[in-house]
Structure 1
Amino acid sequence: MEIFQKIGETAKGLSDKAKEVTKRSGEFLEATRLKFELSRLEKELENNFLSLGELVYRRYKGEEGLDGDIERLCESTRKIETDMLSIQEQINRLQPKPLVCPQCKIELPAGGKFCSYCGNQVASEKPAGES
């Protein structure tokens, strides 16, 4: 009877680990999708800046009636910047930055409390929502 209990506990442990792997792979895929979207927005932002520069130069040369186009491009650019910040925040939540030793600036492994290089104690911060 005891062997069946051990097998059950092992199976439960494996099931929990499988759920964690599935969750992490889903987070990785979502972060990759968000990075792709961020890249797309960066290109769109660059195109807006180029177009704005062209419109401002044409206005400088004396062409009239460009103020509406410039205003629309500025509003579009502001929205893109806001969207990019939101996406970057989502990426940071999915892939938090690792702890870095404040003394020697070496990246620490997850859950590290002391720097493996200099021995300095590092204050670990828990991610938001974790207790």
Structure 2
Amino acid sequence: MQKLGETARGLGERAKDLGGKAKDVTKRSGELLEVARLKFDLNKLEKEMDNNLQALGELVFRRDKGEEDLDGEIDRLLQGTRKLDGEVKSLNEQIKKLQPKPLVCPQCKLELPAGGRFCSYCGKLVTEEKEEHNA
């Protein structure tokens, strides 16, 4: 009976561990989905910004050739482009916060390639727990 109780407790502990890991996986997949959405939004903003910059260049060139009454349109495009630039920077910061930080060898301080567990320079085993502790 005692052995059966110990086995049940052991299974209970493993189930708790798996439950915690499942929550981590769910959280991580949500973060990856959010990063994908943010990158999609970023791509749209960057295309819009490229269009604004191209239009600005054309307007400045036309003004240089002597065409008048373009200053208002140039100012409008400049303001819109500044706003887009701020939104692009904000999205880049959000993406940076959500993306995982690469593991760094605590001994050499070299960054490991994605998925790496051993330092390619000194061979030391690097784990996420150690990296989080050293961060």
Give the shorter-chain TM-score range: 0.7 to 0.9
User: Identity of paired residues, percent?
Assistant: 52
Is the CA contact 2:104–2:112 (under 8 Å) kept in the aligned structure 1? yes
Among candidates 1, 6, 16, match of residue 2 of structure 1? 6
Measure, in 1, the Cα distance between the counterparts of 2:132 and 2:115: 11
Q: 1:35 to 1:66 in 2, by over 3 A?
A: same
Structure 1 or 2: larger helix share? 2
Letter in 2 for 1:107: L
Amino acid at match of 1:89: E
Distance 1:14 1:126, change over 3 A: closer
Amino acid at match of 1:39: N
Cross-structure match for 1:118 = 121
Bigger Rg over Cα? 2
CA distance in 2, matches of 1:47, 1:68: 18
Moved over 4 A (4+): 108-112, 124-127
* Equivalent position of 2:112 in the other structure: 107
C-alpha offsets along residues 28-56 of structure 1, whole Å, 9 cap, x if unaligned?
00000011111111101110011101111
Q: Work out the CA distance in 1 between the residues paired with 2:80 and 2:12.
A: 57
Q: Distance in 1 between matches of 2:57 and 2:17?
A: 59
> Contact between 1:100 and 1:107, CA under 8 Å: does it hold in 2?
yes
**1:119 offset after TM fit, Å?**
1.6
Unmatched 5+ stretches in structure 1: none
Q: Please tell me whether the aligned partners of residues 55 and 70 of structure 1 are also in contact (alpha carbons under 8 angstroms).
A: yes
2:34 aligned with 1:30:
yes
In the alignment, structure 1 residue 55 sits paired with structure 2 residue 59: yes
Q: With the length of structure 1 as denominator, give the TM-score of the two structures.
A: 0.78
Secondary structure class of the residue paired with 1:5: helix
CA distance in 1, matches of 2:111, 2:12: 42
If the length of structure 2 is used for normalisation, what is the TM-score?
0.76
Q: Distance in 2 between matches of 1:36 and 1:5?
A: 47
